[in-house]
Structure 1
């Protein structure tokens, strides 16, 4: 039984296509006093997943949004959920390719199937009408299934990126009103992850 569960876990982990295998336990919440540590740890209970709700993580570049998104996805995989991680631009490119080769229906079904779909770097740039329509269809089809979205922009700043305000209002109202919104602020988390040079010597204290 244990071996079978381990194999199934590894298979789900592989299908998730995470950029990195990271966990909440590995995240340095002391990197910034502005990080909402209690809110993020509460998300680790996965009540949002069992309720079919979504999570939006937004804030400046480098504060650890993608780490937290993948860590929550990893937790979901450990509890038996099927997860898919992808950059939003890659998802839009996949759907655009589906229009070209008439496999759009198949491709969107594959994106609707996972219990959790993680859209990284959402709302990075202006959307075309076709991209906005594809996002609308994806979010609509996934109603009742969880999304995790990371963005450098606040949700209130997403509306102007859609060429059709009616599509924007319908999509974003549905998405934003069924999600937990977490503002991640503070200095960049990335210097903490920078590889250390073994030849570097610790700085000597200055003499006053």
Structure 2
């Protein structure tokens, strides 16, 4: 599932609620910012535990990648995402993004990797466009006066 739309419309909230629902039905769920997952895998390249770290991310029934496609990826990050998505084939993946999936392609340095990865993700998922005003202004502390 891909939840996308402008900031503050509740994409993360919905993704977390879906994860919570899956946990209540007995699923193992991991929620993480995409940048954190990529940093975790990068650490595996550095200390030679990449396979172990990838296996840990693959084992979850549901993986929620929050804030996907926030910035340009380097070649290693793109390759790591490709390997992660490929290894998780047949398992649930929930992605939240401020960008439309059609805007993800230019963020990948290698168009072949982009096409292979995004074809797997975009063409096998439900896409939910979330639109509306940000709910965050309603959360601002009120002025005491």
TM-score range normalised by the length of the shorter chain: over 0.9
Alpha-carbon distance change, 116 to 156 in structure 1, aligned in 2, over 3 angstroms? same
1:184 correspondence with 2:120 = no
CA distance in 2, matches of 1:192, 1:147: 30
TM-score (norm 2): 0.96
Structure 1 match to 2:54: 108
3-state SS of the aligned residue for 1:149?
A: strand
Structure 2 match to 1:23: none
Structure 2 match to 1:72: 18
Structure 1 match to 2:29: 83
Structure 2: give runs of 5+ residues left out of the alignment: none
TM-score (norm 1): 0.68
3-state SS of the aligned residue for 1:179?
A: coil
The one of 128, 134, 153 equivalent to 2:74 is 128
Superposition deviation, residue 190 in structure 1: 1.4
Superposition deviation, residue 193 in structure 1: 3.3
What do the CA deviations read for 1:119-172 (whole angstroms, capped 9, x no partner)?
000000100000000000000000000111000000000000000000000000
Aligned length, in residue pairs: 145
Superposition deviation, residue 195 in structure 1: 4.6
Q: What are the equivalent positions in structure 2 for 1:144-159 lying under 5 Å apart?
A: 144-159=90-105
1:98 correspondence with 2:44 = yes
CA distance in 2, matches of 1:195, 1:145: 41
- List structure 1 runs of 4+ shifted beyond 4 angstroms: none
Higher relative contact order (CA 8 A, sep 6+): 2
CA distance in 2, matches of 1:148, 1:193: 26
3-state SS of the aligned residue for 1:124?
A: coil
The one of 115, 121, 127 equivalent to 1:175 is 121
